[in-house]
Amino acid sequence: MFVTTPLSRASGLLGAVGVLLIGAIALTQSLQPARLAGAPASANPTNENRPCTLRPAGFLRGRFFGALNLTADWSGSNLYCDGMQRPDGEGVRLFFARDQPGGERVSVLIGIDGRPEDLVGAERPANVTVIDERAGRFFSTGGPGRCWASISAVTALPRASDAHAGYRIDGLVYCLGALPSVGDRSSLTLSELHFAGRVSTDEA
């Protein structure tokens, strides 16, 4: 799929990221509308502004090196999280975001192959996308084989007045190599990211 011109390479990477993002979550309104070009009107986005009100608290913890340099210790009401199952039911998409000092916002999307009830106890291929929303920069695996997830617990969430039914998913994701940027030559290296997030399965 690689071609010779930088523009074509960037377009190919953008297409791969677009497929991941459309299947996982709508981007926040702070991103440029052009980045959603081609997204179907019927896409079913998760809520990127939903506080991570899990009990015990949801979290995302780890280090970002390279194009972004920060330590993530995100949890509780300062963390936004949500997620959804893939349309075919054979994977989950987890979303985490945190507002940073200076009006910045960093979002992390983790896509994991497998049904929620089958995730515990085995390493699974994972897609990881990190979005620097203020700068409009994407860093993504672009496909399987670079990142892997190890899930330690999947807990069913009861339906409540302020939350949809779904699953709490605890685990970690690690990547073998840096995540390339879409649109420039920069890259992002991640430590192990430990997380506890939510996959919503019932809008009723």
Does 76 have pLDDT greater than 80? no
Does 183 have pLDDT greater than 70? yes
pLDDT in tens, 42-65: 333 456 777 888 889 999 999 999
Is residue 105 within 8 Å of 99, Cβ to Cβ?
yes
Number of neighbours of residue 83 by Cβ within 10 angstroms: 28
Q: Residue 204: pLDDT band by 50, 70, 90 thresholds?
A: very low
CB environment 111-145: b (16+ within 10 A), e (fewer): bbbbebeebeeeebbbbbbbbbbeeebbbbbbeee
Listed by start position, the domains of the chain span 6-32+44-200
Name which of 129, 127, 135, 82 is nearest 105 in CA terms.
135
More confident residue, 201 or 109: 109
SS3 17: helix
pLDDT in tens, 10-19: 344 334 444 3
